[in-house]
Amino acid sequence: MSKAPIVYKSTHRIKFSELDPYDHVNTGNYATYYVDHRMEGLRDYAGWDLKTLGTLPFMMWVRRIEIDFLRPARGDQEITITSFVREFRGSDALIECTMTDSAGKDVSRCLMIVAHVDKETNRATDCPLTSWRYSSKKHLSRWLFGVGGVTLELLGFVRAS
């Protein structure tokens, strides 16, 4: 496997209810856009809808989100969000996100840090690619391929060579 990331891509049209009185997207909506984008990516690229996510032996929680606001997004504007997993650090996956307008200019950037949490212990654990817990070939194979036949490649973590 190569380390080139899979890039998730989604589009969104700005709705009236998402605006502040100055016709800018309300600041709080940016975090919603980015989190929903990643969830849509898991559904669309990996086939993991909300029901499937509930059956997994782990959870991924947004631990932190940092957003840079570069230019205003306005009502009825179509935006495109792209994202990829940049790296793993222990239990954390660092995800880079970019929001662009229809001209391809950056509107916003985001660094989302999500934690891998074991459902059985309810504790953060190393992400499977870096964890000794998943080092057994049988266990790793079951984790990679046994849940809906999905691989980490489809989840946007790595790209097959």
Looking at residue 125, its pLDDT comes to 87
pLDDT averaged over the chain?
A: 81
Instruction: Give the dihedral sign, CA 73/74/77/78.
Output: positive
Model confidence at 148: pLDDT above 80: no
pLDDT at 158 over 80: no
pLDDT (average), residues 91-104: 95
- CA-to-CA distance for 127 and 148, rounded, in angstroms? 19
Mean pLDDT in residue range 84-100: 92
Residue range 120-148: mean pLDDT, rounded = 53
Taking every pair of Cα atoms in the chain, the longest distance, rounded to a whole number of angstroms, is 56
Select the more confidently predicted residue: 146 or 105. Answer: 105
User: Which residue type is seen at 94?
Assistant: L
Q: What torsion, rounded to 10 degrees, do the Cα atoms 150, 147, 82, 60 define? A: -150
Buried b (16+ CB within 10 A) or exposed e, 93-126: bebbbbbbbeeeeebbbbebbbbbbbeeeeebbb
Cα 32 to the center of its chain, rounded Å:
12
